[in-house]
Structure 1
Amino acid sequence: MGAVEGCVFCGIVAGEVAAHVVLDAPDAMAFLDVRPLFKGHTLLVPRVHYETLTDLPGDMVGPLFGYAQRLAAAMEDVLGAAGSFVAMNNRISQSVPHLHVHVVPRNKKDGLRGFFWPRHKYGSDAEAAEYAARLAAAFAG
């Protein structure tokens, strides 16, 4: 499938669109969401463009969710979150039609209830870069 012209996530994977990268692996990439639910909210995408989970080849499911598992652990280990929220939309509510997994740090009484989710912006680009670097460090070892 390769890259799809006009897909912002394909642009990030290709290095044509700026992003705060958390994971840069041969088969997947993770970067901070530009509209995070909470600071550290990360999007995990396969490098090859697949629109939905059902389009993803079966042999890629395990490796992709292995990265999601490691990101969820990093939310707790590196960011000090009490837990995480891991989710994916397929077509409905999928803001970018490129398969992506949301991995969001969670804490009790953080205000995330139902589907009316508050968004929390980074104070600066430097703060976003610092969050990305902290999460990326979990993949360096």
Structure 2
Amino acid sequence: MSIFKYFKMKTIHMYVYHRDTPYVVDLPEPEYAYHIEHNKKGQTTYRIEKEGCTIHESTVYKRLHFLGIINKQGPTIGNCFTHNDYRGHGIYPAMLNLITNKLLVEEQVPEVFVIVDVHNTPSIKGIEKAGFTLYATVKTKRFLFFYLNQEVHYGA
């Protein structure tokens, strides 16, 4: 992997969803057992495995530099993955709901965010099914850790 890829300007077009109320949707608990892993960066990963295969994984980031564009900070659920064989079974919205309720109730954070590419329709459907509402649309260019030419539109 070349280090030069980090020196390219990258266009980013994302939706920022948020939820500030626990239990806004009545989704069943995930039917598979999950486990939680904490790493040294303060990230928490929720993972469902079956017979040695990762079925689903979602990571909670305590802070993301990207949220500074909309003058917000807070836990953000991201880097989510559901195995192809298990997509469409409601695992993603159920896990988003479970994680969000834990953060809002047990950790008493004021709100939880999810950031998703505007073209990722399946994820958007799962996010909305889990009770998240669109907070902002962000279009920007990233160079290293800098966001340039920021366009922000709030609400739907």
Relative to the length of structure 1, the TM-score reads 0.38
Higher RCO, 1 vs 2 (CA within 8 Å, ≥6 residues apart)? 2
Write 1 or 2 for the structure with the bigger share of strand.
Answer: 2
Write 1 or 2 for the structure with the bigger share of helix.
Answer: 1
Relative to the length of structure 2, the TM-score reads 0.35
Q: Which has the larger radius of gyration?
A: 2
